[in-house]
Structures are given as structure tokens and as C-alpha cells.
Structure 1
Amino acid sequence: MRKALILFCCLPFMGNAQSNNIKLIDLYLNGEYQQSFNGNVLIAQHGKTIYQKAFGYRNIDLKLPLNNSSVFELASVSKQFTALSILQLKEQGKLKLTDSLRAYFPQLPYHNITIQNLLTHTSGLPDYLNQMIKKWDHKQIAFNNDVIDFLAINKPKLLFTPGSQYEYSNTGYVILASIIEKLTGESYNNYLKQQIFKPLGMDSSRVYNTRRSKQDTIANYAYGYVYNAAYKKYVLPDSLKKFDFVYWLDGITGDGTVNSTTRDLLKWNNALLSNKLINALDQKDMLSPHVLTDTITNAHYGYGIDILKDELGNFTTHSGSWPGYTSVLTHYETGDYTVIVLSNNESNAVGISQALCHILNGRAVVQPYRHQETNVDPAILDKYVGTYMFTLKIELVKRDGKLYRHLPGRSINSDVELKPESPTKFFYSNRADIQIEFELDKQGNVAHSYLINYGLKIEARKSE
């Protein structure tokens, strides 16, 4: 995957500091490309592109390179398109956010769920994938009406009382797409085309839920690949039984299946910031914090979008993940930056995006490099064993003379071996750009512990 054409574009007339940041961004992304990143990146300031580049292949098997116009599956970044469509219908007087779910689908056995609950993931609806995986014919492609019929017939219980908690719900956004269709008499696909894509000039964007059912194709399409450890290469998820749901869920819309380019997504983001598609009041409502999603980071959810704050300032974002794809669209108020990362080999789009945002703000990141494993005395690993709190809690365990990262509550099958590149620094063996580094005191005991996650270095707290 390392010999594909790389396309590059950046604005030539920038200040020295910004120009230097762009050089560091290019250095960083080329380093990630050498590690494993395959995908497209666009960075804008004040709505104008300052960096755009494509890395790797859109078709690995045929060695067809990506370019800046390649089309990617957005996965859950699609949800903001669904949310805005609902607000458009609200403006037209076709619905209220306080409307009951049963007003549209009385066959569903769920009471006291409102459209706003669906928008904010506070409905308590169970995940349709988890429910259907055991009871649906995997040779039959499901569409939205099939999901609704399945819920009506099987009546899986709510996870909690509607409005009482937050639990990310793909099911809610599938139902929202079906409400759009019911109120407009149009397919979700055509509604987005006529009411969003065409008005914004998003000419390369579409809802793509006909790849398997109709063998429909898209020009310049970035096929999504997963890594097969057995064959030590990237393959289409369709070829692996554990990912057979990419076939039988291919007809579902609302929670995913919007496909787009980095250029079109910038047009979309600019529209969100300038109230082009809905009035200013509803646009502000969409981008306002409606429900707390994380007490540690004080993260909130709006309508189809995350509302957060970190050391760089206030920002909105949403990521997406589907076998073969990861995506993220982020906008910072401070500096008015937009960062878009789309990957078609499941690279860590969020981690890469966070590093890019730090570089844009003049913050230091650890540039990626190739790690070389070395031999260390297994006895030295004992001092590193323990529980650490980084952005999440992890455990370092020793087995058979090797160090592993273990996530509490998870099976050891998900453990990742930490390979030593020195007696005090270890890198993840799963192609992720993550390292753990230790500083020792004069007595040889651990004084400080650091996680380097896609270039961002944070210190850990070790539990005694």
C-alpha cells in the first residue's frame, strides 16, 4: 500500500507560523501513511481549504490510487444529515420535536418516545443489529421498513425509560429516516439529494444503500478494507464471515450510508455555520448541548453531532465507523478550523484528526516513525505491570515473558502485545500508532508513565 500516488494541495500565501504548521501536518500525515493510514484529509480555516491530500489506494486489489475527489462511506457522520432533515420538516410545520414515535409508527410497542429523544439518543431503543443478528436471514438484505417490522413483531424491551439516560442508538436514526420518508412521500435518498446535496453543490455525494441489492456502483469509489491477520493483508469485509452484516444491512439508511468526499463535506460544514439550509434558531438548536454524554470530559450531544471542549477550545465533531471505513468531521470555534479525515482501511481517523488540530494550534506532537523491536530482559517488565488511567483505564499484564495491554472487563482475546523498542518504551503490535513510555528514577522505579496516542503524549495515573 505504500506506492500509491499522493496528491497534495495547500494555499501558497500564508503566514510563517501557519506555513510551518502546514509543513508539520504534511510530515505527520506522511508518517502515518508510512505506518498504515489510507485515506483523504482536508483542513480548512474560515471555510477555505488550506490543506488537502489523498494517501494510498481507493482499490487496493487493482492498485487504483485515491484522489481528492474519491467518494467514501461516512458511516455515523451521516447522522447529522438526518438530523438537519428533521429540522427542515419542523420548519415546514410537518412535525414537532415533541411528537410521539407512535404517532408515525403505532405498530411499535414503545410509548413516551419523542422525536427529540431519537435525535439525542435518549430513546432507550435497543440496537437493531444486536437484535436482528440472530433472527434475520443473513441472505436477505434488510431495509428500514424491515427494521421497523422486526421491532414491531419481536418487541425487544427498551434499555431504559425514555429521556432518563443517554445511550447511542443507531435504531433511533433509522426511524428518523423513515419518518422523513413518511412525511415527504420521498425516499430518504432522494430527499437528501433534492434538499441538501443539490442546494449546496455537493455533486459527488449520495446515499449509497444499493451496492449489494442492485450491484450499483459509484465512480471513483473508495472501497473499504479490513486487515486480515491470517493472510497479513487488507481484504474486503464481504470476504469474511464475521462481517457478513455489511451485506444484509446494506439497505439501511439514516444512521449511515451517506457517501461523500472531503470537498463536499467542507461545503456541508460551511452550510451548518452559515444557516444555509435551516434558520439560525434551528441551526443553533442543532449545535447546542442537549444531553450529557460523558461526565469526565463534560461532553454533550446536540442533534446528530457531538458538542465538546478541550484545551484547544470549543468544538463540534462526529465520527463514523463501519467495516472498512472510519471518518470524522471536526470544527473548532477557536481559529475557525475544520478538519476532515476519511479512511478506507479503518485507520484511526479520530486520533489523526486530534493530532492535526494540535499542530494547527502550534502544539507539539510526536511525529510517527517506524518502530524496531528489540530484546529486553523479561524481568524488567514486572515493574510495569499494573492499572493505569490515561483517557481510559487500561491494565498492563505480563504473560509468557511479554507485556500486554488489557482492557478491564474485556476478553484476553482483545489484548494487544506491547513490543519493546527500548527497556522503557513499548509500541502496540496491532499497527496502531500508540506507544507507552516510562521514566525511571535513580532507584530504577517507575517515576512517570506516558501514553503516546497518534502523536499526542499524555501522562498516566497508576493505581496502587
Structure 2
Amino acid sequence: MFNGNVLIADQGKITFEKNYGLANEETGQKLDNNTVFELASISKQFTAMGIVLLEKQGKLKYDDNISKYIPELSFYGNISIRNLLNHTNGLPDYIKIFEEKWDKTKIATNQDIVNLLVQYQPKPVFQPGEKYEYSDTGYTVLALIIEKVSGKTFGQFLKESIFKPLKMENTFVYRRRFETKEIKNYALGYITDSSGHKILPDSLGKEFYTYYLDGIVGDGTVNSTTEDLLKWDRALYTDKLINSRDKELIFNSVKTKNGEETQYGFGWFIGNSKKYGKIVYHSGGWPGYSTFIERHLDNDKTIIILQNTSDTKINAALQQVRMIMYH
């Protein structure tokens, strides 16, 4: 039913921490508190933080047009960095384009996304600011902007600016097929085949998108542990990286041009509940991984769930977890 690690904290104190199942089906290696998981879209909050830190250093502005940093994309008009951060950019989905147009024997990088957009010029889905539509493409462009502005790789910049200062020693950008490296305590991600057996996505061959999209960063590819994510959660209550002005932007929903709430800030979904107060959260899904982090800002409670199978749905369990937390 469930294969992964769970950590629940109340005001930063761990009230529940447990590991269920295996990190590696073949060797029988069990998960433990320091097992590293691919975070999938939870990575977006680190990409957003990278941009916030560069803005604080005066190296970019949120309302800069993206063509200032990636001139090739000027044909998309006035898309700002802010539009990328809160998914109001209207850029087409790169995953679909790659499925149709990409040479699957090669592993793509972020620059390849820009190159394909330039080559095929797919129309924007809507004009910037008009609508909210969750956009992986937007976050890959943000990662490229981070690299261009900082002069460092995305992974290096996050390491120096976020992971090292917060002592997140088991957190890094990792592209398993693009840049192979040995990680001792790693949760391999499993999917289920048609007969119900757990298999690795790699067994589906190079035509499967986890292979040829493995070089792309920004929308995913941050890897971490439950305990490192708790360090991240704690730091966000302090001014260690950012101040209250920055937090206003990160943890508040923006409106589209017609006044609709997006329920998204900078790399976080925003929710308000009569029962639990203000909640910010993000989920992540990628073949083999299903991840979740939720922070109750008014009551300082934290839920972190990292799974290395992508089939389990955790919404029902979450309701119960919240009830227990407030019991």
C-alpha cells in the first residue's frame, strides 16, 4: 500500500517519523531516515527561492521580461520572471513538444527546451497574466535564468545559496542518467507494470520520457530526505535566507488580470482552512516518485511524505493525519 518515509513535526519537534518498505527491491535495502528521494515538483520551491535570492542581490527584478536573459524567447512577448514563478506565463508544455519532436537517443537539457521552442514556435496557451495554468516549462526557464545570472550551474547555485547554509547535507540536484554518481542511500523509484510487478522506469528503455528528459532541471531533480526538508521548513520561519517582504511574495496567492485567485505563490500552493488556518504545500509526481510537503503557517505544523513508488494516492491519509495533528 505504501513505500516511503513520513515525518510529522509540531513547532519543529518531530512527533512522528517512520520508514515503510525498501529503498532497493533488488538488494532488499530498507529505507531509513537518511534515504534520499527525488522530490519531483517539490523542487520548484527551491528554484523559486534561487530567484528570490538573486532578486535580493539586485541581480534581477521580478518584473524583468524573460527575453532580457533569454533573448531567443522574445517572440513570446512580455512574459516576466514573476509570470514564470506563479504559473501565469502561458508557455506551452515542453514535455509534449519533446514527445513529438525530440531525438529520444539524446538526453535533453534546459537549453534544448529553448531551442525547440525557437525552432517550432508553438503558440502561447494564453497571454501573460491572463490565466493561471501550472507550468513545468516556466520553472525550467527559471532554472536557466538562475544559471545565466549567477554564472553557476543550477545545482551549484542551490548548493551554495541554500543547501550549505541550511546544513541540508543530503540535498542536491541529481540527474541519475545524465550525470551518474554513486549515492549510497538512495531510494530507487518504482512504477507498476501491467501485471502488477514493481519495475524501474529505465526498464522501459530510452523511448520513455524519464530517460530523455533527465538532463532538465528546475521543475524537478532536487533530491532530499525528510529530515533535510524539516531543516528547510524551520529555516523558512526565520530570516536566515529571506525577510518578511520576501515571504509575503512566496506564501501569498496572486490574482490573474481578471481578478481570479491563482492559489499559488512563488513555488508553493496556498490554502486557507477554517479549521487549520493558512496552509502552504506542494506535491511532486514523476515516474517512481510521489512526494508531498505541507506547512501550517498559523499553527507551525509540518507534514513531509516521500514515496519511491508513484501509484499510492495519499489524499485520504492526509485528511486523517491533519485530524490527528489537531486532536
Partner of 2:271: 308
User: Offset of 1:266 from its aligned partner?
Assistant: 0.5
Q: Aligned to 1:238, what secondary structure does the other structure show? A: helix
User: Offset of 1:351 from its aligned partner?
Assistant: 4.0
User: Offset of 1:334 from its aligned partner?
Assistant: 4.2
Q: Give the one of 210, 216, 232 matched to 2:181.
A: 216
Partner of 2:52: 87
Structure in which a larger fraction of residues adopt strand:
1
Q: Aligned to 2:305, what secondary structure does the other structure show? A: strand
Distance in 2, matches of 1:235 and 1:291, equals: 42
The Cα offsets for residues 190-231 of structure 1, whole Å up to 9 and x where unpaired, read as: 00111100000000000002x11233232200000011132x
The Cα offsets for residues 251-294 of structure 1, whole Å up to 9 and x where unpaired, read as: 100000000000000011111121221122112211111147xx
Distance in 2, matches of 1:229 and 1:243, equals: 18
Q: Is the 8 A contact 2:254 2:262 kept in 1?
A: no
Q: Aligned to 1:215, what secondary structure does the other structure show? A: coil
Partner of 2:217: 253
Q: Give the one of 254, 258, 265 matched to 2:229.
A: 265
Partner of 2:281: 317
Q: Aligned to 2:100, what secondary structure does the other structure show? A: coil
Partner of 2:88: 122
Partner of 1:284: 248
Please identify runs of 4+ aligned residues in structure 1 that moved more than 4 A.
none
Distance in 1, matches of 2:251 and 2:207, equals: 34
Distance in 1, matches of 2:307 and 2:255, equals: 29
Q: Which amino acid aligns with 1:212?
A: R
Q: Is the 8 A contact 2:276 2:299 kept in 1?
A: no
TM-score in terms of structure 1 length: 0.67
Distance in 2, matches of 1:80 and 1:351, equals: 24
User: Offset of 1:348 from its aligned partner?
Assistant: 2.2
User: Offset of 1:50 from its aligned partner?
Assistant: 1.4
Structure 1 residue 56 and structure 2 residue 39: aligned?
A: no
Q: Which amino acid aligns with 2:22?
A: Y
**Gap regions ≥5 residues in structure 2:** none
Q: Is the 8 A contact 2:154 2:217 kept in 1?
A: yes
Distance in 2, matches of 1:144 and 1:259, equals: 18
Q: Give the one of 65, 70, 89 matched to 2:35.
A: 70
Distance in 1, matches of 2:2 and 2:19, equals: 10
Alignment of 1:413-432 (within 5 A): none
Change (3 A) 1:186 1:193: same
Structure 1 residue 343 and structure 2 residue 307: aligned?
A: yes
Structure 1 residue 43 and structure 2 residue 17: aligned?
A: no
Structure 1 residue 156 and structure 2 residue 127: aligned?
A: no
Distance in 1, matches of 2:220 and 2:207, equals: 16
Distance in 1, matches of 2:83 and 2:216, equals: 20
What is the number of residues matched between the two proteins? Answer: 322
Q: Which amino acid aligns with 1:78?
A: S
User: Offset of 1:349 from its aligned partner?
Assistant: 3.9
Distance in 1, matches of 2:142 and 2:95, equals: 17
Change (3 A) 1:105 1:199: same
Alignment of 1:374-389 (within 5 A): none
Q: Give the one of 293, 296, 300 matched to 1:332.
A: 296
Change (3 A) 1:200 1:243: farther
Q: Give the one of 53, 61, 72 matched to 1:107.
A: 72
The Cα offsets for residues 403-432 of structure 1, whole Å up to 9 and x where unpaired, read as: xxxxxxxxxxxxxxxxxxxxxxxxxxxxxx
Q: Aligned to 2:58, what secondary structure does the other structure show? A: coil
Q: Is the 8 A contact 2:173 2:222 kept in 1?
A: yes
Q: Which amino acid aligns with 2:232?
A: W
Q: Which amino acid aligns with 2:137?
A: T
Distance in 1, matches of 2:154 and 2:314, equals: 27
Structure 1 residue 146 and structure 2 residue 80: aligned?
A: no
Alignment of 1:211-250 (within 5 A): 211-230=176-195, 232-240=196-204, 244-250=208-214
The Cα offsets for residues 159-181 of structure 1, whole Å up to 9 and x where unpaired, read as: 00111000100000000000000
Q: Is the 8 A contact 1:101 1:114 kept in 2?
A: yes
Q: Higher relative CO (CA 8 A, sep ≥ 6), structure 1 or 2? A: 2
Partner of 1:438: none
Distance in 1, matches of 2:299 and 2:103, equals: 50
Q: Which amino acid aligns with 1:75?
A: A
Q: Is the 8 A contact 1:75 1:258 kept in 2?
A: yes
Q: Is the 8 A contact 2:177 2:214 kept in 1?
A: yes
Distance in 1, matches of 2:226 and 2:263, equals: 25
Distance in 1, matches of 2:16 and 2:262, equals: 28
TM-score in terms of structure 2 length: 0.94
**Gap regions ≥5 residues in structure 1:** 1-35, 363-464
Q: Give the one of 179, 189, 210 matched to 2:155.
A: 189
Distance in 2, matches of 1:44 and 1:102, equals: 42
User: Offset of 1:47 from its aligned partner?
Assistant: 1.3
User: Offset of 1:141 from its aligned partner?
Assistant: 0.2
Q: Is the 8 A contact 1:327 1:349 kept in 2?
A: no
Distance in 2, matches of 1:243 and 1:126, equals: 22
Q: Which amino acid aligns with 1:257?
A: T
User: Offset of 1:350 from its aligned partner?
Assistant: 4.3
Distance in 1, matches of 2:99 and 2:242, equals: 37
Distance in 2, matches of 1:150 and 1:351, equals: 40
Q: Aligned to 2:33, what secondary structure does the other structure show? A: coil
Change (3 A) 1:242 1:146: closer
Structure 1 residue 203 and structure 2 residue 169: aligned?
A: yes
Partner of 2:61: 96
